[in-house]
Amino acid sequence: MGKKKREHVVFDQMLKQKKSIPFSKTISDSPRKQKTKPLKSKSSVYEDRMSNEEYIRKCYELAISAGKKGYDTFGAVLVHNGEILEEAENTADFERKIFGHAEFNLVHKCANKYSDDVLAESVLYTSCAPCERCLGAIASLGVHKIVCGVSYKEFSKLCPFDYEKLDREGLLKKLGIDMTISESVLEDEGMRVFEWWGGEYHPLEELIAEMDEVKRNRN
């Protein structure tokens, strides 16, 4: 993939009923106990991490597949109760001005196909942290959890702009949208996926050096 095309990928950067208690069991001066959320066991955390890695690796496979077809190397899947409901690759075409981001394509596959309850219980996995346009699409779908392979910060090494930290969860919260975004799952592996960006293999180090030169020339 040529330098010009990679510069155009700017990430488009830019949401009980109470039961009565018998009098004999009440103590007026006793403090009311707060209900606390049970902590996850170490085995449960390990299982979550292994599940995340499984689905992120699937996203990486889709991303490489897209890259070898001449598209940008991004992939995404929607998972509900351990089952992949849908998957999508990037199909962006800059010459024809077709957006075609993997997450956007995935949202289109899922829209009006699954119930709000299913979508709210699902997790969207993506090979790389989504751009703002895709993030808005995901929010409109009613999904509340995103897990990303490559983080915003790490991906900025392959973009013609410097990394700027944004509180995307906070911004969505102000719009009444609850969303959690987890990043950096198998991130080193995910960065290597970009070596297939645009159909031609280029070592990651070469791509980063090329973009560093672009940034220097712009400053």
Active-site positions?
103
Q: Which two tokens stand for residue 5?
A: 């095309």
**Which residue bears the tokens 């009444």?**
176
Short-list 205, 196, 210, CA closest to 71: 196
Q: Which two tokens stand for residue 30?
A: 């006793």
At residue 97, what is the residue type?
K
Short-list 141, 149, 140, CA closest to 181: 149
* Contact in structure between 59 and 86 (CB atoms under 8 Å): no
Distances in Å between the alpha carbon of 41 and those of 55, 183, 212? 22, 21, 43
Q: DSSP string covering 188-210, please?
A: HHHHHHGGGGGGS---HHHHHHH
At residue 187, what is the residue type?
E
3-state secondary structure of 125: strand
Q: Which two tokens stand for residue 3?
A: 């330098």
Q: Which residues of 34-46 are buried (b: 16+ CB within 10 A; e: fewer)?
A: eeeeeeeeeeeee
Neighbours of 160 (CB within 10 A): 17
